[in-house]
Amino acid sequence: MLYHPDKHRDPELKSQAERLFNLVHQAYEVLSDPQTRAIYDIYGKRGLEMEGWEVVERRRTPAEIREEFERLQREREERRLQQRTNPKGTISVGIDATDLFDRYEEEYEDVSGSGFPQIEINKMHISQSIELEFGAGDLQGPLFGLKLFRNLTPRCFVTTNCALQFSSRGIRPGLTTVLARNLDKNTVGYLQWRWGIQSAMNTSIVRDTKTSHLTVALQHRLAHSFALISYQHKFQDDDQTRVKGSVKAGFFGTVVEYGAERKISRHSVLGATVSIGVPQGVSLKVKLNRASQTYFFPIHLTDQLLPSAVFYATVGPLVVYFAMHRLIIKPYLRAQKERELEKQRENTATDILQKKQEAEAAVRLMQESVRRIIEAEESRMGLIIVNAWYGKFVNDKSRKSEKVKVIDVTVPLQCLVKDSKLILTEASKAGLPGFYDPCVGEEKSLKVLYQFRGVLHQVMALDSEALRIPKQSHRIDTDG
């Protein structure tokens, strides 16, 4: 009724009302249809814009619509994957640093290289795969492989990897077959048989949940049989931090490993693991995952269990990481975020300008209704919005250099007052009538100063936080 063109005689207001009325009409068409309303309630506008809904049966429940939407998404993703390949690669560089902890004393001056510790690269391996796999750089020779995958049942699948390794002793064939079955929602059981290159049989159970990852495995192989238990805890933070530990025991000895990994950028994860074993000694393994590429650096520190090697292998990566994070990673991510925000502002500048014009037009159309609402509220000492601002507030002293970006939304909020109450649901307030987003991509809040029963109240709510006023807790204490 507020935007109905017949309610406004002024030609300019009438034109603005027609434009906003059409937007309301579009919303009505979506919400009045049970199917489109269910799609919108679950997925918003992006769900309505997806292709394929025209072939969906109209008598569907919200749960069935959700399932159909996920199916359409999978099909679209499969088409995208068919259009382009997604190669995976691994680069592994083995480093021998045993001379740092286990070297001749100074009296053996005739030993070559005794002046400085010798750190050597003792092996390197590079592999790249799409459906075919190629590996080179190992002392054992280049490797060619072919991977096959097939679903046997909805809960069971099999993978097969055929390989040929070329070495000085000739061509060595290899075959690896893995049979897997989903035991429950979070648990998968695996049976693996490897023939030819490092022949072995392996069985394992992997349980992966939102907060943990547990692996229990048994392997049978001549002179290399072992039992393994590994646990990983996932912290629910923005950096997706994980700490892990494992114990591996077999005919070759016992190995204890512990480590951590953390997301350092949108597509990169950095991890380090300390390996302590008898008779293997102490090693440090550094791994960087960048998109679909993996860079692996195993550093062998000593063949003996030296406390100094364990200490430096544990503390060294932590010191280096925190120094890099403070001096390099954090400034880089901050600059990257600023660039992305600037790009987002540029891309949405036209849309935001349109939203701003629509909001200003809505505020002008609201003036008469707001005047009547205020008169009614004043007559019963009800809810009066004194001032309201929406956008980015800077309260932290360390962020004084940042610019405050807020808009006045006093009129739009007063227009939403009904029977001395204002209720906002859990959704971005940028979509409310008379609102728009003044700072795209940044955190926003709503600050309201209001009067109820002749007493001033104040409240600040996050952008997507529900808000209900008046409340006793919002009252400003004038006694103090």
Instruction: Give the closest residue to 446 by CA, choosing from 411, 407, 419, 416.
Output: 407
pLDDT average per 10 residues of sequence, the chain (480 residues): 78 80 86 80 69 50 67 65 57 80 58 65 69 57 78 88 80 89 92 85 93 93 86 86 92 90 86 91 91 86 89 92 88 85 80 86 88 92 94 67 78 92 90 88 91 93 92 80
Give the C-alpha separation, 301 to 287, whole Å. Answer: 16
Supply the pTM of this predicted model: 0.60
Domains and CATH numbers, the chain: 5-70 (no CATH), 125-331 (2.40.160), 350-474 (no CATH)
Q: Which residue type sits at 291?
A: A
Instruction: Give the closest residue to 259 by CA, choosing from 240, 272, 241, 246.
Output: 272
Instruction: Give the closest residue to 394 by CA, choosing from 383, 405, 384.
Output: 405
Contacts of residue 64, defined as CB under 8 A and 6 or more positions apart, other chains included, come to none
Q: Partners of 469 in the beta sheet?
A: 422
**In Å, what is the CA distance from 400 to each residue of 159, 390, 396?**
57, 19, 7
Taking only the tens place, the pLDDT of each residue in 289-336 is 887 788 889 999 998 888 999 999 999 999 999 998 889 888 888 888
Residue 204: helix, strand or coil by DSSP? strand
Taking only the tens place, the pLDDT of each residue in 140-182 is 667 777 888 888 888 899 998 888 877 777 788 888 999 999 9
Contacts of residue 430, defined as CB under 8 A and 6 or more positions apart, other chains included, come to 355, 390, 436, 437, 444, 463
Helices marked H in 388-437: 410-415
Give the C-alpha separation, 210 to 186, whole Å. Answer: 9
